[in-house]
Amino acid sequence: MQNIKIPKKLIEVALPLDDINEACAYEKMPGIGAHPRGIHLWWARRPLAAARAILFAQMVNDPGYERSMGRGVNKERAKVERERLFQLIRGLVKWENTNDQNLLAQAREEIRKSWQETCELNKAHPDAATLFDPTRVPAFHDPFGGGGALPLEAQRIGLDSNSSDLNPVAVMINKAMIEIPPKFANKEPVGPIQKGSSQGRTIQFTGNQGLAEDIRRYGVWLIDEALKTVAPLYPVIELPAQYGGGKAPVIAWLWARTVKSPNPAFSHIEVPLVSSYVISNKVGKEAYVHPVISGAAYTFEVREGKPPKGAEYGTKSGPRGANFLCLMSGSPISADYIRDEGKAGRIGMRLLAIVAEGGRRRVYLSPTEEHELVAKSAQPTWKPEVPFFQQALGFRVGNYGISTWADLFTSRQLVGLGTISELVGKAKEKVRADASNVGWPDGDGLADGGSGAIAYGEALAVYLAFALDRCADFSNTCTRWVPGNQKVMNLFGKQTVSMTWDFPEANIFLETVGGYVPAAKYVADCVETLPWNVSSGHASQADAANNSITCCIPDDCIDENRHPLFMARAVLRELI
């Protein structure tokens, strides 16, 4: 068998690691704006800058490669040429240059030149016609697609990108990143323009802007449709005179879990498990919950001003652990007692406070019986009653009686999320109809490679579902209210499902943190950051162990499970 001549690659010689490290660190900073990672949550996200750099260096020949083949190459000339490639990498990895078409064109040209050099070296190979076609750069395959960093950046630098993964969520993320956007690049949006919008038909949509705009438009349409049936479950609240009076929408309802008091004298009373009574600790806007005990009952009042000493601990007996004090008697409530009550299905919840819109500020109001009864009146028609593995690391909420995914949500959250979920399917059909009405051919579905009205409806459904997933991250009973930022914090701040004792129930139909429309707009902004003037990639579900995906991958594909990736991973260890 004739040996294949492989030029030494740039990644085997040197890389501008300091510059790549700096770019990776910047990319991980909060506040840099929309980013492809925001399309959907995935663990162990890798910096795109690192992926882009190592893929480019893996594809480009080192300028001094000919020396290893017995050819005389001037070291100084090779050094100068290597520095030129380093400068290109330094430009490529900068976040602001992610979609710089001039830089990307230079990178693609360098890859093409290196491939042509490789083809020239192997032109005598018996299979040169199929393995070394100088007009066709090798394709790319990542059998562990995950969050899609490598497939996405392979596509960005001009390779035909293929991704596979055993996890269906990873597959869908990769489809949303490398497969869908190029199919609908430079298309005008087809969705209904929101009432009151100043947007006109004269706006020019390029790249992924049309696709992103439709995600926003149909996100608004979807919520308008949902409110036709669920609006009564999300009532407004009457503002006191000091806040201007009138009715105001509720941003969030703050709840506390409850258990029956372990003290025999109060065993008929459900007492609250409150980790903190402080609602806002922002200077000048402090607010807190004050419990008022009256005989054998208690209520909560929201008060403004600096909270009294101890309010930051609520009814906890200490700063850590699930140990509380009975509000009525001061008797200790142990973690074991709470676990037993939870497993017996006797953990309830009580409304602590209401957060409402008050012009340019949030208004904190005392709970009302009406709002508590409305919330508890919700009757979901469907629940995700799939059990999760109780002893999974980081999923210990089962110790408190939470055994299915449905148990992680209030009844109202299940109704709201379920209604939106059902409407995603209807949105798919509406998108198809709207696209057909403006002249799009129906064509095939996404699974068959289509790019017409049917495929577009399916594509929008993917992103609308992703927005719902983001919404669910903020709409469950394991979220937190942050007094400093005065907003809801999502469940997955880390890779655990941790128990919370008091939690905010966000109004998902409001344009605020935790709402569906902001989630759809955020997904849309992230879609705009994806490459579009490239060939559509391919993502599928497959087991890397049996390599079943090979039926869909070209023979000359660069498989990231083979030799080059091990070198890339060695570099990544320094970068990540």
Each residue's pLDDT tens digit, 390-433: 777 777 788 899 999 999 999 999 999 999 999 999 999 999 99
Dihedral pair phi/psi, residue 282, rounded to 5°: -70, 130
Q: Tell me: the pLDDT tens digits for 106-135?
A: 999 999 999 999 999 999 999 999 899 999
pLDDT at position 31 over 70: yes
- Separation of alpha carbons 219 and 508, rounded Å: 12
pLDDT at position 572 over 50: no
Closest CA to 435 of 459, 402, 457, 463: 457
573 in Cβ contact with 64 (< 8 Å) = no
pLDDT of residue 69: 55
- Separation of alpha carbons 184 and 528, rounded Å: 12
Q: Tell me: the pLDDT tens digits for 476-506?
A: 999 999 999 999 999 998 888 999 999 999 9
The CA distances from residue 18 to 14, 60, 61, 240, 457, in Å, are 12, 20, 21, 58, 44
**Local structure of residue 61 (DSSP, 8 states):** B
Measured between alpha carbons, how far apart are the two ends of the chain, in Å? 40
Do the bridges between strand 270-273 and strand 250-260 make them parallel or antiparallel, or are there none, so unpaired? antiparallel
Residue whose entry in the numeric block shows the structure tokens 């950051």: 529
- Separation of alpha carbons 314 and 341, rounded Å: 20
Using DSSP, state whether 292 is helix, strand or coil. strand
pLDDT category, 71, cuts 50, 70, 90?
A: low
Other beta carbons within 10 angstroms of residue 42's beta carbon come to: 18
Do the bridges between strand 538-541 and strand 502-506 make them parallel or antiparallel, or are there none, so unpaired? unpaired
- Cross-strand pairs, 362: 357
- Separation of alpha carbons 440 and 452, rounded Å: 6
384 in Cβ contact with 404 (< 8 Å) = yes
pLDDT at position 103 over 80: yes
Closest CA to 42 of 520, 467, 495, 515: 495
pLDDT at position 357 over 90: yes
pLDDT at position 204 over 90: no
Q: Tell me: the pLDDT tens digits for 277-327?
A: 999 999 999 999 999 999 999 999 999 999 999 999 999 997 778 899 999
Other beta carbons within 10 angstroms of residue 89's beta carbon come to: 23
Dihedral pair phi/psi, residue 537, rounded to 5°: -80, -175
pLDDT of residue 573: 38
pLDDT at position 54 over 50: yes
- Separation of alpha carbons 54 and 89, rounded Å: 9
> Residues 179, 181, 182, 188: what is their CA dihedral angle, to the nearest 10 degrees?
150
Percent of the chain residues past pLDDT 70, beyond the cut: 92
454 in Cβ contact with 190 (< 8 Å) = no
Burial degree of 66 (CB within 10 A; 0-12, 13-18, 19+): middle
- The Cα diameter of the chain in Å comes to 96
